[in-house]
Amino acid sequence: MKRLPLLYARDTSGKDYWRSLSERAGSPAFQESLLREFPDDASEPPAAFSRRGFLGILGATAALASMTGCRRPEEKILPYAHAPEEIVPGRPLHYATAFAFHGTAFGLLVESHGGRPTKIEGNPRHPESLGATGLYAQASVLDLYDPDRSQHPTEKGAARTWEEAAAFLGQLGAQLKARGGKGLAVIVDGQRSPTLAAALADLQRELPAAKVVRWEPFSRRNAREGARLAFGKPLDSVRDTAKAKVLVALDSDFLHAEGSHVKGARGFAEGRSDARVAPGKMNRLYAVESNFSVTGASADHRLRLQSRQIPAFAFALAAELGKQGLDLGDLTAAAGAKGKLSPEAAKWAASIAKDLLANKGASLVVLGDRQPAAAHAVVHLVNAALGNVGATVSHVAPFDDLADGATALVELAKSFGSAIDTVVVLGGNPVFDAPADAGFARALGAAKLSVHVATHVDETSAASTWHLNRAHFLESWGDVRAEDGTASIVQPLIAPLYDGKTEIEVVRALLGDRHKAYEAVRATWKKSFGVADDEKQWRRALHDGVIAGSALPREAVVASPSAVAAAVKALAAAPTDGFDVVFSADTHAWDGRFANNGWLQELPDPMHKVTWTNVALVSPATARDLGLSEALALELPPKAGEKTDLSKGTDAPAAEHIIVTVGGVQVELPVVVAPGLADKTVHVTVGQGRKVAGKVGTGVGVDVYPLRTSAALDVASGTVAKSATPARIARTQEHFQMEGRPLVREATLAEFVKDPDFAKKLVEAEDQGQMWPAFTYNGHKWGMAIDLNACLGCGVCVVACQAENNIPVVGPEGVLLSREMHWLRLDRYFEGTPDDPRSVTQPVTCQHCENAPCEQVCPVGATVHGVEGTNDMAYNRCIGTKYCGNNCPFKVRRFNYFNYQMDVPETHKMQFNPDVTVRARGVMEKCSFCIQRINEAKIGAHREQRERLRDAEVVTACQQSCPTSAIHFGDLNDASSKVSKVIESPRTYRLLEEINVRPRVHYLAKVRNPNPELETA
Partner 1 sequence: MSSAKAHAAPLTNTDDSNPAERSPLILGGAGFASVTNSVAHIVERKTPSGWLVLFAAALTGLLILAGSLGKLVYTGVGVWGLNDTVFWAWDITGFVFWIGIGHAGTLISAILFLFRQKWRTSINRAAEAMTIFAVMAAGIYPAFHVGRVWLLYWVFPVPNQMSLWPNFKSPLLWDVFAVSTYATVSILFWYVGLVPDLATLRDRATTRVRAVVLGIFAIGWRGSHRHWLNYEKAYLILAGLSTPLVLSVHTIVSFDFATSVIPGWHTTIFPPYFVAGAVFSGFAMVVTLMVIVRKAFGLENIVTLRHLENMNKIILTTGSIVGYAYAIEFFTAWYSGNNYERFTFINRAFGPYAWAYWTMVSCNVISPQLFWFKKIRTSIPAMFVLSIFVNIGMWFERFVIIVTSLHRDYLPTSWTYFRPTIWDISLFLGTFGLFFTAFLAFLRFLPAIAISEVKGVLPEADPHGHGHGDESDDAHDAEAAHA
For residue 651, state whether it binds partner 1 (rule: CB under 8 A). yes
| Min dist. Cβ of residue 852 to partner 1 (A) | 10
SS3 855: helix
The reply to whether 630 sits near partner 1 by the rule CB under 8 A is: no
Q: Residue 975: which H helix or E strand, with range? A: none
Cα dihedral angle (29, 35, 37, 40), rounded to 10 degrees?
A: -20
Site for partner 1 in 903-962 (CB under 8 A): 921-924
For the window 494-513, what string marks contact with partner 1 as x by the rule CB under 8 A?
Answer: --------------------
Write out the binding residues for partner 1, residues 793-822 only, by CB under 8 A.
Answer: 817-820
For residue 899, state whether it binds partner 1 (rule: CB under 8 A).
Answer: yes
User: Can you list the alpha helix ranges (DSSP code H) found in 738-861?
Assistant: 749-754, 758-761, 796-804, 811-816, 853-857
Q: How far is the CB of 928 from partner 1 (least distance, A)?
A: 17
> How far, in Å, CA of 898 to CA of 920, rounded?
8
- HSE-up of residue 251 (Cα within 13 Å, Cβ side): 27
Beta carbon nearer to partner 1, 590 or 736: 736
Nearer to partner 1, 347 or 648 (CB): 648
Q: Contact between 784 and partner 1 (CB under 8 A)?
A: no
- Residues binding partner 1: what is the number (CB under 8 A)? 61
The residue among 376 and 1006 lying less far from partner 1, judged by its C-beta, is 1006
| For partner 1, the closer CB: 895 or 969 | 895
Handedness of CA 962, 966, 967, 968 (dihedral sign): positive
* Residues 973-992 contacting partner 1, CB under 8 A: 991-992
Cα separation, 978 vs 795, in Å, equals 23
- Decide whether 359 or 842 has the Cβ nearer to partner 1: 842
The smaller minimum CB distance to partner 1, of residues 644 and 932, is found at: 644
**Stretch of residues binding partner 1 (CB under 8 A), selected from 223-231, 455-463, 894-902, 959-967:** 894-902
Q: Label residues 956-989 b or e (16+ Cβ within 10 Å = b).
A: bbbbbbbbbbbbbbbbbbbeebbbbebbebbbbb
Residue nearer to partner 1 on the CB measure, 564 or 884? 884
Q: How far apart are CA 502 and CA 426, in angstroms?
A: 9
- From candidates 13, 647, 776, 945, binder to partner 1 by CB under 8 A: 647
List alpha helices for 421-577, DSSP H: 430-433, 440-446, 459-463, 503-510, 517-529, 534-544, 561-570
Binding of partner 1 by 547 (CB under 8 A) = no
How far is the C-alpha of 347 from the C-alpha of 288, rounded, in Å?
13
| 123 vs 842 by CB, closer to partner 1 | 842
Binding segment (CB under 8 A) for partner 1, from list 332-340, 530-538, 823-831, 906-914: 823-831
Q: Which of 84, 86, 149, 140 is CA-nearest to residue 108?
A: 140
Nearest distance in Å: CB 997, partner 1: 7
For residue 143, what are the CA distances in angstroms to 139, 806, 911?
7, 15, 10
CB 399 within 8 A of CB 190: no
CB 561 within 8 A of CB 330: yes
Q: Which residue's CB is nearer to partner 1, number 576 or number 647?
A: 647
CB contact set of 963 (below 8 Å; sequence gap of 6+): 130, 132, 133, 134, 261, 262, 265, 266, 269, 792, 794, 796
Residue 796: CB minimum distance to partner 1, A: 19
Least distance (Å) between residue 729 CB and partner 1: 14
Q: Exactly one of 44, 535, 739, 836 binds partner 1 (CB under 8 A); which one? A: 739
For partner 1, which is the closer residue by CB, 115 or 649?
Answer: 649
Alpha carbon distance 240, 299 (integer Å): 17
Question: Footprint of partner 1 on residues 840-869 (CB under 8 A)?
Answer: 844, 853, 856-861
**CA nearest to 894, candidates 920, 919, 925, 918:** 925
Q: For residues 195 and 851, which CB has a smaller minimum distance to partner 1 in the complex?
A: 851
* Residue whose C-alpha is closest to residue 746's, from 829, 636, 844: 829
Residue 355 binding partner 1, by CB under 8 A: no
Q: Which is nearer to partner 1, 148 or 827 (CB)?
A: 827
CB burial string 620-639: b at 16+ within 10 A, e below: bebbeebebeeebbbbbbee
Q: Is 893 in the site for partner 1 (CB under 8 A)?
A: yes
Q: Could you say which DSSP state residue 993 is in?
A: G
Asked if 241 and 248 touch (Cβ cutoff 8 Å), the reply is no
Calpha distance 721→725 (Å, rounded): 12
Select 142 or 884, whichever has its Cβ closest to partner 1. 884
Residue 741 found at the interface with partner 1 (CB under 8 A): yes
Kindly state whether residue 638 participates in binding partner 1, applying the rule CB under 8 A.
no
CA-closest candidate to residue 472, choices 517, 522, 509, 512: 517
**Stretch 196-255 residues interacting with partner 1 (CB under 8 A):** none
- Residue 829 Cβ vs partner 1, minimum distance, rounded to whole Å: 8
Q: From the CB of 877, what's the least distance to partner 1, in Å? A: 7
**Residue ranges binding partner 1 (CB under 8 A):** 646-651, 733-741, 743, 772, 817-820, 825, 827-829, 844, 853, 856-861, 877-883, 885-887, 889-891, 893-899, 921-924, 991-992, 995, 997
